[in-house]
Structure 1
Amino acid sequence: MDRKFVDFQLAPDDLTAIRFGISPGHELCHAVRALLRPDEYPLQWGWMRAYRDRIPREDFEVLALLIREEGYFPDFLTTTPTWELTPEAEAERLRDIDDERFEVDMTKVLVRSAGARRVAVQHMLDQPDRARAMIAGAWLSVWSTAVAPVWAPLERLLRADIAVRTRRIAESGIGDMIQTLHDRVQWSDGAVRVTMRIWSEVVDCRGSGLVLVPSVMGTTGCFVLTEPPAQPTLFYPAHGVTATWARDAADAAAALGALLGPARARILRDAHEPRTTSQVASDTGLAISTASHHLAVLRDAGLVASTRDGARVLHRRSPLGEAMVGAVL
């Protein structure tokens, strides 16, 4: 049988052809799938044990109707991977999906449905305004009970993955980094090639680029967006996801503290944004000289990077620091 591929063709001289994003929608969709098919998501068992009983059943069933256990789910649920979009803004965006996009995506769900599910999807197509409001409400309800409580450690893992891969691009080039995404992804003659089960397609990303989106919940494989108006997007499993990723924050912080010492652990944990030595000292309740010493130790270990901004020196986690914090927390 012929192998199937999606080839994302990139302009060889375009240094901006690859960018990274984070998608709360993708995480929520795969959280729903994990709850529908827990045997396929062993790395999520700890999270499921802690949060599945808190999820409102009716809201969950609205999302499960669209997302299903496998296969296609509406592109509009995951088409805006950025660095800035908040989960609340993501839910609000769902209320404003344009009529054409809503009909196209929901029709794809309809033709893949049968029985009671097909009837329910048809009702949504017949009442799009009501359906959009219902979907947005269910999205926010399930998010707030199932994903929001673990969003901080989950987001750290995503950002740590991006930091490591960005550094790999700088050191070895895009092609070398692409080879590390997943065993179904390879770099082939200026294109990102993804092995697929059902169809083949060539996607011209010249001018638009390709968005790479790591996922903590979606650990079962790679997923792609190829049809306009969505920007070409490849979702892949993030580095460092273990069965304990959703453990209690206090236990995780204690583990980092045991490794680095409480003061350095807190400095590193809070170093996701650039801060001056004075700000670090103020945030941690340390003397400036003590904070400076701890920062120097972290910098010498490669966990913190310090850069000059005019008269100020700003300290922030390095890619190695991101990877450590992501893996532990």
Structure 2
Amino acid sequence: MITIKLSTDDVSRIRFAFSPIWETVTSVRALSNNTVSSVHGPWLRKVRPIAAGDDLTLLRALIPPVGYIPDFITPAPPRRSTSFESGLAAIAATPPELVVSEITKLQEENPHPLLPELIAKPAHAVTRINEALQSFWQRTLEPDWRRMRALLQDDLAFRLDELASGGLDRLFRNLHPSVRFTGDQVEIERPFYCCNGVPLHGQGLLLVPCVFTWPASLGVTAAPHVPTITYPPRGLGRLWESGKDTTDSPLADLVGRTRAAIVGHLDLPMSTTHLAHQLDVSAPTLSVHLSILRAAGVVDSRRDGRTVLYHRTSLGNHLLAASSPTELASAAPTSLATSA
């Protein structure tokens, strides 16, 4: 069991964030540990023919199938959502002595012939690592990042609602079965990976939903980094599903094919631009349909920073389930993000 002690200041600095860098790093492990019959099967079938390369060879040396991962390659996002480029910049700024220390620890636990080269030249190692991350990201994850980002945004919205409704007790009670909050500490049973180190007081606690943490369940990062718990986001099973075909459904007969298709594609949040592209509908036309669906109570909206989030209501879920009862009898509320 891992215990993270929390001071009053730490509690006041608990926050959520997600990062494309974290997803890239954990996807390398998922590529080694998952099968096409797993929840990530559709992604694996797509990327395995194009995944191999020198970049993957280097990344697999740093990210073994089990055990420790050097924490400097998963830097703490400074904001709730950050870009891939900012993550690379954070890795590039890692002090050379920390690079050497963490890769040496990895070499002791999971020896690999490439690691001594990285230890010998830490500045060059960081450049090589960033180049490998970027090329692997562009080839295997960037095409699906909008969809992944939407799922992560949806999870954060749910967690913040939990916090607002029931405080930290409710937040941690529903975060993951292996996580418990006792008022002055967080206890984590059986994390899949954890660095050796005691979390430092005063840094707060970072909670990071991460698509490719599954099926590992949990990861924990400690000193000298920001204490971090990584967990699978809510609704992960929906990630690689495509929008439901509602063309000849009873819902299409009721509200029209375009509006039925909009409801069917709200399995995850997405921008109006992305949805308009998928449905071959102009953004202004889509906005009109969304307004009508909102007025009818089929979708609703809320603001999240500079973004307006549209989500399917219970009525929308029931209408969609009635059109496809064997597939969506237990449909869960989801969201659609549109630019403000």
Taking structure 1 as the reference length, what is the TM-score of the superposition?
0.77
Q: Aligned partners of 2:66 and 2:108: how far apart in 1? A: 15
Q: Which residue of 1 aligns with 2:174?
A: 180
**Aligned AA for 1:106?**
I
Q: CA RMSD in A?
A: 3.6
Q: Which runs of 5+ in 2 are unaligned?
A: 252-258, 274-280, 315-331
Query: Percent identical across equivalent pairs?
Result: 23
Q: Tell me what 1:45 maps to.
A: 41
1:95 aligns with 2:92: yes
> Alignment partner for residue 203 of structure 2, among 202, 208, 224?
208
CA change 1:139–1:172 in 2 (3 A) is same
Provide the rounded CA distance (Å) in 2 between the counterparts of 1:211 and 1:70.
Answer: 22
Which of the numbers 235, 239, 244 marks the counterpart of 1:240?
235
How far off is 1:90 after superposition?
A: 2.1
Residue 65 of structure 1: aligned partner: 61
Q: CA 1:182–1:126 in 2, change beyond 3 Å: closer, same or farther?
A: same
Aligned with 2:114: secondary structure? Answer: helix
Residue of structure 2 in register with 1:155 after alignment? 149
Q: Residues 236-261 of structure 1: CA distance to partner in whole angstroms, max 9, x if unpaired?
A: 1111011x6224xxx42756997762
1:14, CA displacement in angstroms?
7.2
Contact 1:164 1:323 (8 Å CA) reproduced: no
Matched with 1:304 is 301
Cα gap change, 1:52/1:233 in structure 2, threshold over 3 Å: closer, same or farther? same
Distance 2:210 2:98 in 1: 25
Q: CA deviation at 1:202?
A: 5.9
In structure 2, give the amino acid aligned to 1:28.
Answer: T
Q: What TM-score results when the alignment is normalised by the length of structure 2?
A: 0.75
Question: Is the aligned partner of 1:270 residue 2:267?
Answer: no
Q: Given residue 74 of structure 1, which amino acid in structure 2 is its aligned partner?
A: P
Q: Report the counterpart of residue 324 of structure 1 in structure 2.
A: 334
Whether 2:243 is the aligned partner of 1:252: answer yes
Q: Which structure 1 residue ranges, 5 or more long, are not aligned? A: 273-280
Deviating more after overlay: 254-263 vs 72-81 = 254-263
- Post-superposition Cα deviations, 1:66-105, rounded to whole Å, max 9, x if no partner, equal 0101111110111222334211332343333221221121
Structure 2 counterpart of 1:276? none
Q: What is the alpha-carbon distance in structure 2 between the residues aligned to residue 319 and residue 20 of structure 1?
A: 24
Distance change in 2, residues 1:92/1:27 (3 Å): same
8 Å contact kept, 1:5–1:200: no
Cα shift at 1:39: 4.5
Measured at CA, do residues 112 and 169 of structure 1 come closer, stay the same or move farther in structure 2, by a change above 3 Å? same
Q: Which residue type is aligned with residue 2 of structure 2?
A: F
Q: Report the Cα distance in structure 2 between the residues aligned to 1:93 and 1:253, rounded to whole angstroms.
A: 39
**Alignment correspondent of 1:277:** none
Residue 10 of structure 1 contacts residue 204 of structure 1 at CA under 8 Å; is this kept in 2? Answer: no
CA distance, structure 1, for counterparts of residue 102 and residue 302 of structure 2: 44
Is 1:210–1:233's contact at 8 Å kept on the other side of the alignment? yes
d(CA) in 2 for partners of 1:203, 1:240: 30
- Name the counterpart of 1:294: 293
Shift of 1:134: 1.2
Q: Is the 8 A contact 2:18 2:208 kept in 1?
A: yes
Q: Deviation of residue 232 (structure 1)?
A: 1.2
Per-residue deviation at 1:266?
Answer: 7.8
Deviation at 1:301, TM superposition (A): 5.0
For residues 320 and 159 of structure 1, do their structure 2 counterparts lie closer, same or farther at Cα, with a shift above 3 Å needed? farther
2-structure distance, mates of 1:296, 1:161: 25
Aligned to 1:79: 75
Which residue of 1 is the match for residue 320 of structure 2?
none
- Residue identity matched to 1:234: I
Summarize the Cα distance change of 1:237–1:319 in structure 2 as closer, same or farther, 3 Å threshold.
farther
Q: Which amino acid aligns with 1:107?
A: T
Moved more, 192-201 or 48-57: 192-201
Q: Which amino acid is the alignment partner of residue 203 of structure 2?
A: S
Q: How many residues align?
A: 297
Match of 2:327 in 1: none
Alignment-derived partner of residue 285 in structure 1: 285
Amino acid at match of 1:252: G
